[in-house]
């Protein structure tokens, strides 16, 4: 009988130890989660989110290998040809004629051309020659007089200027090409790095709609996860509820959008769409304790455009002329106006395709995020 009591007592002790181990494990997991600093990278389509993620790889992961660069070749071919077709479509829409019969034939050839789906297949040299000649046609300046009335990728002039290199038989994209390459972001793209030495891990979930969090072991004060999510309208409803307890949001706005229309809805002004999206994010119940880092992006395009397309045409209460600083401050004020939740807002002027600019900006952003993480953890 005594043996039975002893056995039962040992069993109870083992169960208690197991229970204590489970409790300790849960406590450790809880501490790790508290040290986890979730950063959400948001913005409307083509605001520069994916370019920022690419910059993180270039700046903090030794850039792209030759094989990784080669993987972008097909995307760049497609971007180049699609941009050329968009330009010719605009010529026809606004009844702008090329100046020679040869260029008319080249336009027809471009419109009928399809990029080979085989990613190993080089671009046809003839398509490169055709695009180069059409791009140099004097009529192009007349088409660009209507630039705010049709959709054209921001990177189109860059790709047109580089067409001879891109159409070469041995073309391997450069990092500058990759930064300008455009693919529609429809899944969750995760970049993880530690905020101390800023050790980054990028995980791209191509075309996946499900959430996939991979929490790393957090040794320093905070381990950081950055998520780049699809900016197209159809994607937003899939992620808005997924991000409780986000420490900071990096929200990208393309300043140059102020006179452009949406790819998805040609009657909708893109800057107004960004304001609507920002409103839904900044005042969401999911982000009540979140700070907002606002990247006022594409400042280079914004500066050039202000002289040709007055901001006042689209925002009649603006009165600062073509001064880029006044114009940027005005648009920042518009975003502040919808911040009814009074979240902390940290604005930065950025040019996402310029690695040196993003390096400087992110040095400042890192300090902001670290301070917020320390506050969240109760250290400050």
Q: Among this protein's residues, is 228 annotated catalytic?
A: yes
Burial class (CB in 10 A: 0-12, 13-18, 19+), 283: middle
312 marked among binding-site residues: no
Q: Which of 51, 186, 191, 194 is catalytic?
A: 51
Catalytic residue check, 14: no
The rounded radius of gyration (Å) of the Cα atoms in the chain is 25
User: Does residue 179 have a known ligand-binding role?
Assistant: yes
Find out whether 228 is annotated in a ligand binding site: yes
232 is in an annotated binding site: yes
49 is in an annotated binding site: yes
Catalytic residue, candidates 61, 75, 232, 355: 232
Residue from 36, 162, 177, 228 carrying the catalytic annotation? 228
372 known ligand binder: no
Strand pairing class (345-349; 291-297)? parallel
Q: 337 catalytic, yes or no?
A: no
Neighbouring residues of 364: CB distance < 8 A, sequence distance ≥ 6: 348
Cα-based distances in Å from 21 to 10, 25, 26, 28: 16, 6, 9, 10
**Secondary structure (DSSP) of 276-287:** HHHHHHHT-GGG
> Is 270 annotated in the active site?
no
- Whether 231 has a binding-site annotation, put simply, is yes
From CA 83, how far away is CA 95, in angstroms rounded?
Answer: 18
Q: Is 182 a catalytic residue?
A: yes
374 is in an annotated binding site: no
Distance from the first to the final alpha carbon of the chain: 58
Of the residues 35, 182, 270, 303, only one is catalytic, namely 182
184 is in an annotated binding site: yes
47 marked among binding-site residues: yes
Catalytic residue among 35, 36, 46, 353: 46
Lay out the sheet containing 248-254: strands in order across.
200-204, 188-194, 223-229, 36-43, 248-254, 291-297, 345-349
Q: Is 355 assigned a ligand-binding role in the annotation?
A: no
**248 DSSP 8-state letter:** E
- 328 among annotated binding-site residues: no
Active site residues: 46, 51, 182, 228, 232
Enumerate the known binding-site residues. 46-51, 154-155, 179-185, 228-232, 297-300, 352
Enumerate the known binding-site residues for Mg(2+). 50, 185
Enumerate the known binding-site residues for GTP. 46-51, 154-155, 179-185, 228-232, 297-300, 352
């Amino acid at each position: 009988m005594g043996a039975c009591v002893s056995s039962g007592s040992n069993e109870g002790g083992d169960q208690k130890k197991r229970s204590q181990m489970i409790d300790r494990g849960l406590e450790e997991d809880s501490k790790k989660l508290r040290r986890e600093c979730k950063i959400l990278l948001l913005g409307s389509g083509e605001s520069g989110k994916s370019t920022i993620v690419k910059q993180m790889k270039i700046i903090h992961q030794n850039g792209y290998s030759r094989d990784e660069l080669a993987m972008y070749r097909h995307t760049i071919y497609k971007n180049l040809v699609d941009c050329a077709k968009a330009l010719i479509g605009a010529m026809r829409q606004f009844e702008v004629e090329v100046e020679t019969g040869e260029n008319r034939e080249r336009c027809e050839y471009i419109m009928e051309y399809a990029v080979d789906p085989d990613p190993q297949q080089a671009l046809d040299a003839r398509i490169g020659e055709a695009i180069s000649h059409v791009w140099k046609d004097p009529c192009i300046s007349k088409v660009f007089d209507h630039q705010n009335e049709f959709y054209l990728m921001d990177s189109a002039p860059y790709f047109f200027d580089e067409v001879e290199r891109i159409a070469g038989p041995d073309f391997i994209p450069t990092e500058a090409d990759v930064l300008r390459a455009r693919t529609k972001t429809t899944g969750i793209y995760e970049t993880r790095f530690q905020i101390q030495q800023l050790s980054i891990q990028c995980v791209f979930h191509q075309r996946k709609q499900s959430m996939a969090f991979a929490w790393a072991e957090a040794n320093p004060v905070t381990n950081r996860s950055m998520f780049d999510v699809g900016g197209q309208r159809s994607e937003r409803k899939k992620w808005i509820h997924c991000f409780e307890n986000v420490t900071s949001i990096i929200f990208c706005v393309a300043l140059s959008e102020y006179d452009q229309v949406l790819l998805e809805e040609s009657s909708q002004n893109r800057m107004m769409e960004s304001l609507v999206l920002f409103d839904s994010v900044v005042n969401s119940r999911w982000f009540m304790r979140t700070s907002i880092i606002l990247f006022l992006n594409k400042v280079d395009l914004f500066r050039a455009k202000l002289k040709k397309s007055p901001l006042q045409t689209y925002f009649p209460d603006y009165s600062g002329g073509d001064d880029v600083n006044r114009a940027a401050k005005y648009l920042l004020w518009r975003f502040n106006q919808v911040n009814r939740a009074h979240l902390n807002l940290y604005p930065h002027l950025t040019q996402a395709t310029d690695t040196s600019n993003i390096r400087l900006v992110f040095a400042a952003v890192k300090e902001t995020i670290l301070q917020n993480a320390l506050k969240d953890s109760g250290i400050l």
